[in-house]
Chain A
Amino acid sequence: MSELIEMQNISLKAAEMVEEGRVHKALYSDPAIFEEELDKVFNNTWVYVGHESEVPDAGCYKTAWVGRQPVILSRDRKMNLHVLQNRCRHRGATVCEGRKGKTKSFTCPYHGWGYGLDGALRALPKPEEYEGVLDKNELPLERLRVETYQGLVFATYREDLESLYDFLGGARKWIDLFMKQGGGYPVKVLGEHRFNFPGNWKIQLENTTDAYHFPIIHKSFITSLDDATADIFDFLHGDGFVEDLGNGHSVMVMIPELVDLEDNLDQPIPPRFQKLADELRAEGRSEEEVQKLVRAAHGTGFNLNLFPNVSCSMAFLRVLRPVSVGETEIQHVALGGAGAPAPFNRKRMRLHEHFQGPMGFGTPDDGEAWERVHKGSQAGQDGWILVNRGMNNLHQSPDGNVAGAVCSETGMRGAYRQYKKVMAAGEDK
């Protein structure tokens, strides 16, 4: 009996490892906590699975993940979106292995069960042996609940969860601003970079709301910029801020003058966009459109972190997937304008390649830091990770939220508060 009590006492309760201003390092390395996270976080909240522009037409699909579970985002003939478990109802094989494409149906390669784009089980070979045994209507690919906001597609297993609209809450205003970077055209996915790092997913979650690291670890990127652009990225002493938007979401405004890309359209063309402006003028674009596209090409001046797995990060989407307690996969999704002038989308892709992805001038240094966090945090029997920066200097934002300095860890605290809430759910009081 005493043994049992002792075991309970030392068992790691993740929710108790989050305090305001610090989190226990076991959250990065304990396999049992990781398993609990897959259930309590990823199976119990809205998880980002893709952007509508990735499945533009009827019959389009892309494969994605909800935590560790493979899913398919598809668009049926009536243009409805579906998120389906990628698991044949017969013996469990995946029914779709492509990353994206177009199809009329999903057919299991093992025994040929065929499913529609909405997941309905349409046909199976030699059905006579199932007469009176199974009803096809009862065996569709299992569907997740799907809702979208501004083209961002989220899915959840929970029918009783609040709407996506409510879950995003204070983040919606910032998503609206983020989506102005199509330059007057609908935002469209142009491609993606994929890489992984040997470390826990929350190290990445923290990073997109961490301005403090930028001038330090990304010095080599800043050196590669022209002086005017380097000045823009010298934002730690500026008027930026981090605002806790609730539900684990936060926004980190690094460059306040680039919050609304439809404002200030009368600025001179910066040197690094001169070639783009010339190309647009050569295409016969009006000066007004040139200004609008050039300003949109910058991307926004903020990172919007959406708990738990996506960040609208300046000019692109950063999507994380927890693979194991010590491995995380990341996609850097490049964005442009659907139908926008080719020089605009080209410039957006070149800027993305410059910083993002496994060969960019920024990401490899982030990756090095995250790997070291994961490795170094294993040292010692006990220890805490500090997320208390800027707790001495908080204020209330115009929207009534808690906000701190641009290089404060306000966003991390917001994410961990939500984490604590969902990890505590269902635990004995």
Chain B
Amino acid sequence: MSTQTQILNDVTAFIWHESDLLDHKGYQDWLQLWNEDGLYIVPAEFNADGNYEDTLNLALDDADMRSMRVARLENGESVSANSTGNTIRMVSRVRVLEAGDDLVIARCAMTLNEMRHGKLVTYPADVEYRLQPTGDGYRLAGKVVRLMHADSFLRTVSFIF
């Protein structure tokens, strides 16, 4: 197997693992995937430029906000989180954009499906991962979820893309 194919396999395995955790609400394990300084970002415009901190986003979570977001989804106090069932996301079209020793950048297509009050809601997205290689697999150093809906109107969201 070529080195490039091996990296693509490793990256895809990581993304599928992460996707499975989120679909099955394994939020505590998901938090453990992250580097402390990593940012989870959902831009408010599909074509937002990379200057997320000076832009309004749907979410821009540092480690503290990620923990609080997970706490909100898990602690039973949020009526919308309580009424959200599992999500099912399909991830494909994985492409490694950069494969450095310290950072691997990959992009993929994702479609997330949610059953909301008896109606199927679908969110197609372009997702970018920044992954830090370690001796023990990848660490999540950044994730940007570009939703097609971002340019239009979303439904409210009580899960993690």
Contacts and interface: CB of A to CB of B under 8 A. Distances in A.
Nearest to B56: A191
Contact of A349 (B55, B81, B155, B156): B55
Contacts of A193: 44, 56, 58
Interface string B103-137: 00000000000000100000000000000000000
Interface string B139-161: 00000000000011111111000
A368 B72 contact: no
B79 A191 contact: no
Contact of B59 (A334, A345, A359, A368): A359
Interface stretch (A26-34, A217-225, A402-410): A217-225
Contact of B83 (A190, A363, A368): A368
Nearest to B78: A220
A142 interface: no
B77 interface: yes
B53 interface: yes
A357 B156 CA distance: 8
Contacts of B151: 99
Given A192-B56, A346-B53, A358 B156 contact: yes
A195 B44 CA distance: 11
B56 A364 contact: no
Contact of B72 (A195, A223, A350, A371): A223
Given A217-B79, A220-B77, A367 B156 contact: yes
Nearest to B58: A359
Given A219-B77, A220-B78, A224-B72, A190 B157 contact: no
Interface in B80-103: 80-81, 83
B60 A350 contact: yes
A223 B70 CA distance: 12
Contacts of A365: 78-80, 158
B57 interface: yes
A5 B60 CA distance: 60
A206 interface: no
Contact of A197 (B75, B152, B155): B155
Nearest to A327: B153
Contact of A358 (B77, B83, B154): B154
A223 B75 contact: yes
B15 interface: no
A38 to B, nearest CB: 19
Contacts of B49: none
Contacts of B79: 217, 365, 368-369
Given A193-B44, A371-B117, A359 B157 contact: yes
A329 interface: yes
Interface of B, helix, strand, loop or mixed by DSSP: mixed
B58 A358 contact: yes
Contacts of A346: 53-54
Nearest to A369: B79
Contacts of B71: 223-224
B68 interface: yes
A367 B153 contact: no
A160 B75 CA distance: 55
A375 B154 contact: no
Contact of A220 (B44, B54, B75): B75
B11 interface: no
A377 interface: no
Contacts of A353: 56-60
A386 B81 CA distance: 27
A350 B80 CA distance: 22
Contacts of A13: none
B153 A196 contact: yes
A295 interface: no
Interface in A7-49: none
Contact of B65 (A195, A223, A354): A354
A274 B119 CA distance: 44
B56 A196 contact: no
B22 interface: no
A195 B123 CA distance: 13
User: Which of B53, B56, B75: most chain A CB closer than 10 A?
Assistant: B56
A190 B51 CA distance: 14
Contacts of B25: none
A352 interface: yes
Given A220-B72, A346-B53, A363 B154 contact: no
User: Which of A191, A345, A359, A371: most chain B CB closer than 10 A?
Assistant: A359
A192 B44 contact: yes
- 7 shortest interchain CB distances as A-B pairs: A191-B56, A367-B156, A220-B78, A364-B156, A368-B80, A220-B77, A364-B80
23 contacts: A191-B44, A191-B55, A220-B75, A220-B77, A223-B75, A334-B56, A342-B54, A346-B53, A349-B55, A353-B58, A353-B59, A358-B154, A358-B155, A361-B68, A361-B72, A363-B156, A364-B78, A364-B158, A367-B80, A368-B80, A368-B83, A368-B156, A371-B117
Interface of B: 42, 44, 53-60, 65, 68-69, 71-72, 75, 77-81, 83, 117, 151-158
Given A346-B54, A368-B83, A368-B156, 6 more contacts: A99-B151, A196-B153, A334-B56, A358-B155, A359-B154, A369-B79
